Amino acid sequence: MMILVTGGSKCGKSCFAESLFDAVSGKKYYLAAMQPTGAEALTAIERHRKMRADKGFLTVEQYTDIDRADVPAGSAVLLECVGNLLANEMFRDEQIIDCTDKIIDDILRLKNRTKLLVVVTNQVGSDGIEYDKGTAEYIAALGKINQKIAANADKVIECVYGIPVTVKG
């Protein structure tokens, strides 16, 4: 089963996604895609570590090539988050790389290996602001990835002000 959890910044999606594992017995894996670079990233990583500290997750840091993450077949996995994964893949060699299909394929391969995959992503691109070329391409790529993952997910849930709203499933 794959569940996509989406929403805007600081809307409660991570907390909600973690709660989906409360009833899961056995090992639970947290695939962390945010690279620990810069003060803002380190603050966010520490906040997320504290949120899941007593929830029984085993953390696996995997910044690119998410399908190669060291998680056993048949496990329960929380992928946090597609926005960071895309940035890591797209800008990995200081040039813009079209990696949307690769990320979609990687996530679907991960889905096929797991009993439960919860994917956290961000809603971007609805603010109407014009961005530079690299940012505009990132927003378009994340939109495409989100659409494909949503189409392949069993459930899609949007968090709005901390309230989960089922969009699909």
What would the two tokens of residue 165 be? 């709203």
Domains and CATH numbers, the chain: 2-168 (3.40.50.300)
In what helix (H) or strand (E) does residue 45 lie, and over which residues does it extend? helix 39-51
pLDDT over 80 at 47, yes or no: no
Residue 69: band (very low, low, confident or very high) from pLDDT cuts 50, 70, 90: very high
Token pair listed for 2: 């794959």
Q: What are phi and psi of 17, to 5 degrees?
A: -60, -40
Both structure tokens of 97: 């790389």
Cα(91)–Cα(45) distance, integer angstroms: 20
Q: How confident is the model at residue 163 (pLDDT cuts 50, 70, 90)?
A: very high
Rounded CA-CA distance 50/57 in Å is 12
What's the pTM?
Answer: 0.91
Q: CA 81 to CA 13: how far, in whole Å?
A: 10
Asked if residues 80 and 31 have their Cβ atoms less than 8 Å apart, the reply is: yes
